[in-house]
Amino acid sequence: MPQADASPIAPRTIAPLPRHIAIIMDGNGRWAQRRGLARVMGHHEGSKTVRGMVTACAERKIEALTLYSFSSENWSRPEDEVAALMTLLKQHLTSELPLMLKNGIKFRRLGRREGISADVLELLDETERATAHGTGMTLTLALNYGARAEMVDAVHAIAAKAKAGELDPARIDEATIAAHLGTAGLPDPDLLIRTAGQMRVSNFLLWQIGYAELHVTETLWPDFGVEDLECALRDFAGRQRTFGGLQVK
């Protein structure tokens, strides 16, 4: 007898699959407001969606999944909402660690450390250490992240090496820059999914998504399920990716 939570479509029936999926998880607040609930309840529901997406992507042998959790601009939200988000993050990391270990998922954090409380940083670091030897999917959480800040930090690091004589400025190329970004070692995203219908990339992975396929859905993040993921994957599989060249007939 099939399990009730089995995926409606067997994993890996869609080809080609992206190696790296990046998701802008938008719509938690609107989901809650439409139901007359506090915004934080939308974030609680959204955290459940995260678990489902991590599981679904791991089942489909996606190499990397990067989730936009909290931008550097999100600190301007009400203080109680930010505090609730950080509490929810700690709870989620603690509860999901056994699942990550079971499935060989390697966890990474992306974004500046400055501004994040010591207890949250400690738990993030512990999760990275505990999963460092995972051989399955790499799960990256973008927290206190902004792509422009990431590129500024990369330029600072490269300039410091050049000043110290460790790097010839004339030899700086795209690979040099990529190696100094927070996503170093990961393939660039092939597919960028944005929920809740907004047609913008919101300062997310600006360098890395240069050739990513975009999939925007009106579905709010807490309602985004396996069927929605399958739709995005089928959309991706139907695209002709020429990377600036001409389609070969």
Cα–Cα distance between 217 and 198 in angstroms, integer?
8
Is residue 49 within 8 A of residue 224, CB to CB? The reply is: yes
Beta-carbon neighbour count of residue 38 at 10 Å? 15
Catalytic residue among 26, 28, 190, 228: 26
Which neighbouring-strand residues pair with 109? 141
Cα–Cα distance between 95 and 88 in angstroms, integer?
10
Catalytic residue among 74, 188, 203, 235: 74
Q: Is 103 a catalytic residue?
A: no
Nearest Cα to 59, choosing from 109, 95, 7? Answer: 7
The catalytic site residues sit at 26, 74
